[in-house]
Amino acid sequence: MPNKLNVPAMWSPEMGAVVAKQNELAAGAYSTDQTFHEMRMAYDTERAFWNEGGPQPASIRENRVKTPHGQVTVRMYRPTSTPALPVIVYVHGGGWVVGNLNTHSRICRILAEETGAAVLAVDYTLSPEARYPQAIEECVAVVQHLRTAADEWNIDASDISLAGDSGGANMAFATYLHLRDVEKDAADIRCLLLYYGSYGLRDSMSIRLFGGPWDGLTEEDFAWYKNLYLRGPEDVRAPYFDILGNDLDGIPPCYIVAAALDPLRDDSRTLAAVCEHYGVVHAFEEVSGVLHGFLHHSKILPAAREVLESGGRFFRTVRLRGGSSTRADAAESTTQGTPVTPGGPAVSGAPGASGASVTSAVPATSGVPASPAAPVTPGASATSSVSATSDGPSEQRDPAPPDAV
């Protein structure tokens, strides 16, 4: 598609260093011209580097969980030995086609450390072996298993949250909607932590302007993933794929992150606007100068760790408040510091053209400032930005292997 922006000229020096490392690890290995089997092997190889190091949890446990489609493997990361921890069910990204427990291990370990919760990662069945909505039904079954086997896992069955990145954010949200609309049993879902997800937009400014060989998310690439995941073209409007096509009034508190140079950026902006419209407790952060998939790169990209830390603060504050209401007028803020003046969303720079951070208003009752220095007071809105830029490595302009949705 024509009229794409010059994204390599817009990414941060740190993002450039990531791009260079990806080229070194797996240059050209993620082309959608190859088979999905070949892409999986390349993805595993490239992700191995990014999962080295990071925090080590108090314990790691794997088990198999029965679902309507057979057993799936789950892995729990416990940050402490404290009994009856809250639990975050993490659904990994990878365009529904690639990825596994190992490719997202570092993300889960950091999330456990930052939230203080046990993080349970789900190794759902990939596509095309499992077409929509099988993997979502597997994740639903995992949540239901945790409710009935809380003592076995040493967790609090009344304190379950959902999280995911990219295609996994789509599935995490879909899991909540399935629990709400089919099982009629979503009242104990504490919050959603959603990193650069796909929520159903079929066209947008960001889809038109971004996407290239550096992220593997051209329109043709995205169609390749969807063709492997969905049963047919009609599923693009199916309720557990087209998240924004559902009634989202009354959803749990949401922490929403977008990458400024991501074709899926506007999906997150739209979700944040819907939360704002309904008064849902939420925080929205758009990270300037970074590409889709940046959460993996905390080894050399500070912004990746920062948004995991921010997600942890959001989670802890929602728990502190009890998480009993999603409404912006449900309670008063108890945070301390300099109040943020009232106002709407703050926009820095021209949306879609500069990679500037764009932030949505955070309802006062979230009690979660998007940055520690900007607490929210009742009736006010918080704005923040996260930048990937600092005095880091020299900027790299060569395209990298794509980060799948």
Residue numbers annotated as active site: 166, 262, 292
Alpha-carbon gap, residue 91 to 292, rounded angstroms: 16
What size, in residues, is the chain? 405
Answer for the pair 161, 89: CB distance below 8 angstroms, yes or no.
Answer: yes
Q: Cβ neighbours of residue 115 under 8 Å, at least 6 residues apart?
A: 79, 86, 88, 311, 312, 315, 316
Alpha-carbon gap, residue 122 to 137, rounded angstroms: 12
Answer for the pair 91, 36: CB distance below 8 angstroms, yes or no.
Answer: no
Print burial letters for 178-192: b (CB count within 10 Å at least 16), e (below 16): bbbeeeeebebbbbb
> 386's torsion region: left (phi>0), alpha (psi -120 to 50) or beta?
beta
Alpha-carbon gap, residue 129 to 163, rounded angstroms: 23
Alpha-carbon gap, residue 113 to 196, rounded angstroms: 21
Residue 142 in tokens = 């995992």
Alpha-carbon gap, residue 368 to 81, rounded angstroms: 27
Sign (positive/negative) of CA torsion 251, 294, 386, 308? positive
Q: Which of 104, 7, 117 has the alpha carbon at shortest distance from 57?
A: 117
Residue type, position 172, single letter: A
Give the Å distances, CA to CA, from 379 to 86, 273, 368, 372. Answer: 30, 17, 14, 18
Alpha-carbon gap, residue 335 to 367, rounded angstroms: 6
Residue 68 in tokens = 């309507």
Longest Cα–Cα distance in the chain: 56
CA angle 368, 114, 94 (to 5 degrees): 100
Residue 76 phi/psi, 5° resolution? Answer: -105, 130
